[in-house]
């Protein structure tokens, strides 16, 4: 059984069909790419998968569970986490506290316990601190744990956003243009990071990306969107050599 199965997903805005009969199937452990020209509907698909938008039609199944139309928080709890093209960190919080925000999916204490700083609160906070530091060490961010997120270099902010997403313990990680704004060295390091995340966390990853070097370097399969419709899908090397795909990008 596929981890993610999407059937005939569609959404319209004011009569415009932004995504039209989108289908995708992603197996556990895959590194899968969603590509296409600007305005093709890629981020809209991510917004549908994460509950930002409710589909007009179609079914989204995650690990056998129908999550179609559920709220974002419930979809996150079901196992989908994401990053954004424009980094969305809590920049006024520390690096450590950003990761702890993600951990609140799995660790809880009562309101009274938190206000009065009861032993249950202290115990939970200690566990969360330890878990957060473990994640930060994976991304070589542990030395910046007390640094404000806003003060991190751009490439490290990208890593922190991924670490925070992983803190929610997802089954599927969605990366929306993770290489946006990166220089070639940062992109190369990002490729290594994504491979590491997949292998170390046994993670399934779906990414949107315009950097074809990154796409060809990490994605095993691709789906290509154009004007909201699937243009083609298949093995990465086959898709990137498809004349339809080349024409779509040249015509961007």
**In a domain? residue 84:** no
**Residues contacting residue 240 through CB under 8 Å, at least 6 positions apart:** 212, 215, 216, 222
Are residues 120 and 54 part of one domain?
no
Are residues 99 and 75 part of one domain?
no
Domain count, the chain: 2
Q: Which domain holds residue 159?
A: 92-169
**In a domain? residue 60:** yes
- Tell me which of 169, 189, 210 is where a domain ends: 169
Are residues 74 and 9 part of one domain?
yes
Query: What pLDDT was estimated at residue 242?
Result: 87
Are residues 175 and 162 part of one domain?
no
| Per-position pLDDT tens, the chain of length 252 | 799 999 999 999 988 899 999 999 999 999 999 999 988 999 999 999 999 999 999 999 999 999 999 999 999 999 999 999 899 999 999 999 999 998 876 655 554 454 445 566 667 788 889 999 999 999 999 999 999 999 999 989 999 999 999 999 999 999 999 998 888 888 898 999 999 999 999 999 999 998 888 999 999 999 999 999 999 999 999 999 888 877 776 554
CATH number, residue 47: 3.40.50.300
Query: What pLDDT was estimated at residue 112?
Result: 47
Are residues 214 and 185 part of one domain?
yes
Which spans in the chain are helix H? Answer: 42-49, 72-78, 95-103, 111-116, 119-138, 154-166, 184-200, 212-218, 236-240, 243-250
Among candidates 175, 82, 177, 97, which has minimal Cα distance to 129?
Answer: 97
Q: Work out the burial of residue 192: count CB atoms within 10 Å of its CB; fewer than 13 is exposed, 13-18 middle, 19 or more buried.
A: exposed
**In a domain? residue 85:** no
**In a domain? residue 117:** yes
């Amino acid at each position: 059984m596929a981890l993610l199965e999407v059937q005939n997903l569609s959404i319209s805005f004011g009569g415009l069909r932004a995504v039209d009969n989108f289908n995708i199937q992603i197996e556990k452990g895959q590194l899968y790419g969603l590509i296409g020209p600007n305005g093709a509907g890629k981020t809209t698909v991510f917004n549908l998968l994460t509950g930002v938008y409710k589909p007009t039609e179609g079914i989204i199944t995650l690990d056998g569970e129908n999550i179609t139309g559920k709220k974002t928080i419930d979809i996150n709890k079901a196992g989908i986490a994401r990053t954004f093209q424009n980094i969305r960190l809590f920049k006024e919080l520390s690096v450590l506290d950003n990761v702890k925000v993600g951990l609140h999916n799995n660790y809880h204490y009562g309101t009274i316990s938190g206000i009065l700083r009861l032993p249950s609160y202290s115990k939970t906070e200690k566990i969360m601190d330890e878990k957060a530091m473990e994640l930060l060490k994976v991304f070589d961010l542990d030395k910046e744990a007390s640094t404000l997120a806003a003060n991190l270099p751009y490439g490290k902010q990208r890593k922190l956003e991924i670490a925070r997403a992983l803190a929610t313990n997802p089954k599927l990680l969605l990366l929306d243009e993770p290489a946006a704004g990166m220089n070639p060295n940062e992109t190369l390091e990002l490729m290594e990071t994504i491979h590491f995340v997949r292998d170390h966390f046994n993670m399934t990853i779906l990414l949107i990306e315009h950097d074809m070097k990154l796409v060809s370097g990490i994605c095993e399969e691709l789906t290509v969107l154009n004007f909201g419709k699937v243009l083609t899908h298949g093995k990465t090397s086959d898709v990137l050599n498809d004349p339809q795909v080349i024409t779509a990008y040249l015509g961007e």
